[in-house]
Structure formats: C-alpha cells, structure tokens
Structure 1
Amino acid sequence: MAQKKILLLGGSMQQIPSIKKAKELGLYTITCDYLPENPGHKIADEYYNVSTTDKEAVLQLAQKLQIDGIVAYASDPAAPTAAYVAEKMGLPGNPYESVKILTEKDLFRDFLHKHGLNCPYAHGYATYEEAYRDMENFHFPVMVKPVDSSGSKGVVKIYDKSELKAAVKEAISYSRSGRFIVEEFIQKKGYQVSGDGFSVDGKLVFTSYGNELYSGRGTREYVALGEFWPSLLTPDMKAKVDDELQRLITELGMKTGAYNIEAIIDENDTVYILELGPRNGGSYIPQLIQYATGVDLVDYTIRAAIGEDCSALQMTPTVGCWSNYMLLSTVSGTFKEIWFDETFRAKNLLEVYCTKQPGEEVHAYQNTTHSLGTILFKADNVEEMMEITGNIQKYYRVIVENS
C-alpha cells in the first residue's frame, strides 16, 4: 500500500511535535511556510516555500502532491487554509466557513450573538473614527483586540475613550486584515479557563482545562504568561463549560478535530467562550495535557487528518500539578542564558523549549511575540504550584546583557 502523505502547515519549533508524530505514524511528511530556516523543515521529508495563509497557493501545492491529509497544528492563521484545502479536495476536515468564523473575532462574536450563546457586547471596525463614533454604546472598561491574532498580541484594556486611538493603532498593527474589535470587559470569577479539547463526529469527547496566568511582573495587564493544571473549576462548572462548547460546536457543524479553548466565568456563573481556536493550543499545551492526563492529542490530530477512527478518545481526569510558562525577559538586550534555581531544576523542571541563541536580541515582554519559548514543570500540589507561578523569578530568570 502506498505511503500516505500529510501536509503540515508550518515548521516552527512549536510545530515539531506534529511533524515527529506524523513520521512516527508512518506518514510521508511535507511542510510549508515562508520561513525556510524553521527547524521543523529539517525533520520533514519535503519542504516547500509557500505561505500557510495563502490558501490558493497551498491548495495548488496540495493538489500537485496528491496529499491524503492536511494539518494546521498550533497555528490560528493557518487553520482556515487547512479547512479550505480539505474541503476543496474532499479530505477529512472541518467546514471552511465555520473555521473562518472561529479565527476572526468579529465574525465569532456576531455568530455567538445570533445563535443565542453568551457573548459580551462587541463590535468590529476597520477605522478608529468608526469605533470612536460608537463609543457611547459601550460600558467601560473595554477590550480592544485585533480580529485575527492570538497570544495576547495587540490586546489592550482601556478605561476611557481618550485611550482608544493608541489602542486601535496597536491592535491594527497585529491584524493581517487591518480590522479590530471592541468588546465590553467581563469581570471574571477565579482564573480564566484555558486548555484544549477534541470533538469526534461533532461530539465533544475530550476537554482538559488549566488556569490561565496573566502578567503583573513589569509587563502590561492581560498578557498571557502560561497556565497550570489541574483546573480549579468545580465538576459542575466544568460540565457547564463543556455544555456551552458543545452547543457552539453543534451550531457551527464542526466534525472531528482539536480545539484551543479560552473561557471565562462571570460573577453570576455565566460561561463565556472567548476563543474556540480550531487547532491544538500553542505553548506546548498538548504536551502538558499528555503529562497531566496521559492523552496524546497530537496523535489524534494527525489520525483525524487522514480519516482514521478517533472514537477511543474520552474524558480523562488530571493527575498531578503541571504548568507551561513563557520564557520571557522584563528588559530588552542581548540574550546570554537562562538561569534556573538548582532545586527547581532537579525537582520540578520537565522541559525547556528556547528559541533564542546566546548573542541574539531579546525584547522586554509585552505579548507572546516577545517570548523566548516555554518551560514545562511540575509541582507536588496546587499550593506549591501557586507559590512557584506567583514568584517565578525565584525559580528562573532570563539573563540579558547590554540592557
């Protein structure tokens, strides 16, 4: 039988697990993006210099290569391309229009509103002037976000319309389409819910949630730093989040595949789905979930892409305490090394994924663009985990020169 071919969109360090898994499953691996130096391309069987967001060019490549499956692993911008190619070629995948809705915040908020799902008051715009005219309809504070970015990039919380212009300028600078959204801020109860899930034939069969960690540490408010497991949700609240996700998946007509999930619960226990990314999470969330539950979501993602049966996947509880945390510097300068506390290194540290070499430039952390990578670590209990994540500079520091 001929070896099946899979096209993997992107070859960054974060995408290496998907390339390795596809090879492990005996597939012929082809990668593409516009960055030939990306490390994943060295692992793949073939590489093509084609942008993952150019859906027509990727379709042309996929047809020429006669692929059997396509994956946008841990990449929001590439997810619509994967869905588009799969739909055009009759390959396993999710509906292109639904994936497009999930990857553009203004379309997503409109969809939630129209289908009676919980949603903050929100509106999308192309210009500052349009948004400014509309501001009397909002209750402050509000969040200003690019419609098509992830990882806190271009997200600003503002308290007055005098701050709108600067926030819009920043949001647009991170938007590929030049559009942004303004939405009312929701006061959350407890931690933001963050994690990954998976549906099989439209049924949400697996979710694993952690607690989102946000910045203080000399960086701006509402910038993601990482997560820790287990989720502090009660079983009832977890079921409530799962139910809201299932409603959304059903309304969108999604089929089989992975999701990156961001949700908040307000003071009235109302669940708001902020993001349902139609792809595995970045920052090594699938690897963290494997430590926490033993479930290999990367394996299911690759199998789903080539039409293999994924029905064995089921809800699995978290055992132990685990975290993924950004490698970041609070100052700009030249990267020298990462310092770890020796006890932490020996007892807690699991993996270090660093994208920088000594001598390379680093920027003070303002959003995930400035991340130097991710560390994964464990703790004996939730108290220890909260102590480490709350005082992370005691356990690791990025050493920078010339700052």
Structure 2
Amino acid sequence: MDKKFAGKKLLVLGSNVGATDIVQYARDNGAYTIVADYYPADRSPAKRIADEQLLVSTADKDALEAFIRERHIDGILAGISEFNLLIAEELSARIGLPFYFTRKQWDMIEKKSDFRALCEKHGVPCPKTYVTGKEIPEDVMQQIRYPVMIKPVDASSSKGVFKCENEDDLRRYYPESLKESECGEIIVEQFVTGDEFTAHYTIANGKVTLASVDNRYPIAMQEGDPTTIPIARIYPCIYLDAYIEQVDAQMRALCAGIGLQNAILFVQGLYDEKTNTFNVFEAGLRSAGEAPYRFIKRVNGINAMHVLVDHALLGKTDFDSDKEDPYMKGKCCGIVSFVTKGGVVGSIEGLEEATAALPDVIEYECRYPVGSETPCGRTLRQLMIRFVMICDNREKMAEDIAYLNSHITILNDRGEDMVFKMKPERIWGIQ
C-alpha cells in the first residue's frame, strides 16, 4: 500500500523545536525530507534523520527559492521558530505552495492590537484597551485609570513592556516601549492580575478543538522581582472546567472567524481565582515553546504537528479531532525545569540515574553541560534542564518531582548549589 506522502518532497527550515518531529512524520509516511539552515548535522537532530541536508541560512530567501524551484519541492514548513515560519510562509506564497496560515492571518493573531480587536469581536475576555497606535492622545491620557500596562503591539518578548502606576510612569515609558516596536505602535491596556495559563487549539479541516490548557508556575530570580520565568507547566489546568465554560466557545469562534483550515494556535492569559475571571492577552499561530504535543501524542494518540505537515503536502488532513482530550485522560503531564542562578557549571550528578529510574520522564534536555557558562538574568535561557513527564495523577507528579530534586545535584565551579528547583507541593496551587 502506498504511503500518503509517496513522491512528495518537504523542505524544513531550521533545526529548532518541532523540526525533528516534522521530519520523522513526513519520512514515516513516504516523503523525501530536506532540512535547511547553517548548522552542521552534528548540531542538528533534524538533519541527522532527514534524507538530505542543505547548508544554507534560512535568512537567504533567494537561495532557498532557487533551490525549491530547481528541486520541485512540494511543501515548506518549520518548527516553532517565528522567524523560520514567516520565511516558510513567504516562500510558499512566492511559489504558490500551500501553507497553514497567510501573512494577514499571522498579523491578526500576533499583532496585539489586532488580536485584541478580534477578542472583543468574538467575546473573548480580555483586558480593557485604552489606546493603540503611534501616540497617546491627551484626551485619552486623562481618561486612563491606573495601573496600566504599555507594550509594543508586535513584540513577542518582555522588551518594551512596562507597568505604569501613574501618568508620569506612562509618559516616561512610552518612548521606551515605542522603540521596541517594528511598526512603531504601542498598546496601553488595563493591568490585570492572576495565574498565567496557556491554551492550545488544533484546527483540522476547519474544525477547531481545544487540545490542552496548562498552569504556569512562576519563579522570581530575586525576591520581589516582578519578572518571572516558568519553573514548570503542568497539565491539565486546575481551573480547566472554568476555562471551558467561560472562554472555549468564544476562542473556537475566533479561530473559525479568521478562516483557519489546518493550523495550531495558542493563547496566553491570566485567571483571577478571587473573581473567577479570565483575561486573554496574546496568542500565536504555532505551538508554544513547551510543545505539549510531545506528551499529548502519547496520552491521546494524536499529534497536532502532523496537521501542519498534512496541509503542506496534501492541503488537507486526516487528523482525528475526536481524540482531543484536554483532561489528558486523567493523567498529569508537565514540563518541569531546573533553573540556573548563573555561573559556570562545575558538576552534574545523578541526572542519568534519576531519569532512568523514573519511567514517567519521557525525555529531558540539559542545555548546559559541565564547563558551560550559564546566564544571569531573568530570561528563558536560564531553563537549564527540562524534564517532560507523564504521570498517572497529580500525586505521582509531586512524588516524581521530589525524587528528581533529591537525586540530582548541580554545583557551580565553586562547589555551590546553582539551580532553583520546583517545590512539589506547589502543583496543588500556583503560588
């Protein structure tokens, strides 16, 4: 029996998260796969399993276009890298190949002002918006109730994002926020509080389904620091019932409303337990960095990344949306991290032994081996070791986290403990 991608050629841009899964699925189903970027194969797991390696920067669009035309490539895709996804979309549009989003759809989701307008149109709960644009009119300035947040409309990191307690703060931070925007626009919105979550949606042949909702467990690198990084993300979310009741239908309508046919979309927001209210504040037309499909494929038997490959090579998908279960069939899944405090890694003891002893750890990544200089600061680069876990329940997740904490020791070159670890009792709440 012929495989469904037999005779098809897929070009994958980049070696980032998701690329290996894309290549493996495409090859398993008969496609000829090529991975392109400036990394040699020994630094690219995706290249090592691909049929062909192309040593060309993904920024060299003209060289890639010439290659695609010469080799009669049938589809172009990338992992979760925003840069590579936009290159893949542009090349697909130039050549007339299918891609899972258009640039217009991307901007509607990624540009904060456009996404906020979509939320308001479809009834998705979101913070009040005071102004979007290149400047803040004086009459609007007088109507603002503090505190507020000011952000670049098109930035995907924390650069240019400030909390303003009063008008003086807003006037001071406005130029700093503006300079971080590529299009020269900012958004001023109501400041909201709560526990952060990320929800993932899969769109297959126009049908929108909720794939997962997590809880983000923040850690401040210094006491009182308002900027936090996630030491863990645990699924399913402890307020999943409330999310489905208050947000899910509106989000599904939003996805359908912009014409998505085969895609992945995530949204991030805050839940205030005291008032039982949600506020969605941003989204992305890709998998988020935690890539929950890694355990969803084991628990629910489906992988949303396959939808993107199907669309690139066939223009449709046989993805079974009925298998989606954001409750994870009663399992507790998560990405749990050891977070570096900064400095040189002196020793890592017990890592291989501890992970081998826990079947619930389905994979792990150690970003900084012994001798590496680890960063100081407040960024995701400080996630030193990440464990991907599938446990029978939340109790077992807490037990496994405690085991990892007690059996793995990471010291700096001065013999001092150099990582923060997740406190297992936190999985019953957030703080």
1:118, 1:196 → 2: CA distance? 16
3-state SS, counterpart of residue 54 of structure 2: strand
Query: In 1, Cα distance between the equivalents of 2:402 and 2:382?
Result: 20
- Residue 204 (structure 2) aligns with: 200
Amino-acid identity (%): 22
Q: Could you say which residue in structure 1 is the equivalent of 2:232?
A: 226
- Contact 1:11–1:33 under 8 Å retained in 2: yes
Q: Residues 334 and 222 of structure 1: is their aligned pair in 2 closer, same or farther, counting only changes over 3 Å?
A: closer
Residue deviations 1:242-291, cap 9 Å, x none?
21221111221111112233233456555443333111222232213234
Following the alignment from structure 1 to structure 2, what is the Cα–Cα distance between the partners of residues 391 and 165? Answer: 50
How big is the shift at 1:324? 0.6
Secondary structure of 1:223 counterpart = strand
Equivalence for 1:183: 189
Of 339-348 and 115-124, more deviation after overlay is shown by 339-348
* Other-structure match for 1:366: 378
State the partner residue of 2:92. 86
Cα distance in 2 for partners of 1:182, 1:64 equals 48
Aligned to 1:107: 114
- Give the equivalent residue in structure 2 for 1:324: 335
The answer as to whether partners of 2:361 and 2:387 remain within 8 angstroms in 1 is yes
1:310 pairs, out of 318, 325, 342, with 318
- Go from structure 1 to structure 2 and tell me whether the alpha carbon gap of 1:361 and 1:125 turns closer, same or farther (over 3 Å shift): farther
Residue in structure 2 matched with residue 377 of structure 1 by the alignment: 389
Distance in 2, Cα, partners of 1:345 & 1:171: 46
**1:6 maps to 2:6:** no
Cα distance change on mapping 1:238 and 1:160 into 2, 3 Å: same
Unaligned runs of 5+ in 1: none
Matched, 1:334 2:344: yes
Q: Which runs of 5+ in 2 are unaligned?
A: 419-431
2:30 corresponds to which residue?
26
Offset, 1:4: 1.1
Q: Which range moved further: 230-239 or 146-155?
A: 146-155
- Verify the 8 A CA contact 1:210 1:227 in the aligned structure 2: yes
1:350, distance to aligned residue in structure 2 (A): 3.1
* 2:427 alignment counterpart: none
2:254 maps to 1:248: yes
Aligned to 2:426: none
**Distance in 1 separating the partners of 2:368 and 2:137:** 40
Task: Quickly say closer, same or farther: Cα 1:55–1:286, change in 2 above 3 A.
Answer: farther
**Are the structure 2 counterparts of residues 271 and 58 from structure 1 closer, same or farther at C-alpha, using a change threshold of 3 Å?**
farther
Compare 156-165 and 206-215 and name the one that shifted more: 156-165
1:227/1:111 CA distance change after superposition, 3 Å:
same
Partner of 2:149: 143
Which residue matches 1:349? 361
The residue number in structure 2 matching 1:209 is 213
Using a 3 Å threshold, how does the CA distance of structure 1 residues 269 and 345 change in structure 2: closer, same or farther?
Answer: same
Could you say which structure has the larger radius of gyration? 2
Cα distance, 1:297 vs structure 2:
2.4
- Alignment partners' CA distance in 2, 1:345 and 1:149: 40
Task: Answer yes or no: is the 8 Å Cα contact 1:284–1:324 preserved in 2.
Answer: no
The amino acid across from 1:362 in the alignment is T
1:399 to 407, 411, 416: 411
- 2:244 aligned with 1:238, yes or no? yes
* Greater alpha carbon shift after TM alignment, 287-296 vs 155-164: 155-164
Deviation at 1:6, TM superposition (A): 1.4
Structure 1, residues 44-76: CA drift from partner, whole Å, max 9, x if none?
312242335x76775555444432222232223
Contact 2:217 2:232 in 1 (8 A): yes
Greater displacement, 375-384 / 272-281: 375-384
User: Equivalents in 2 of 1:98, 1:372: separation in Å?
Assistant: 34
Amino acid at match of 2:146: F
1:2-49 Cα distance to aligned partner (Å, 9 max, x none): 631112222125533223332333322223345557513344312242
Q: Residue 285 in 1 paired to residue 292 in 2?
A: yes
Give the TM-score normalised by structure 1: 0.80
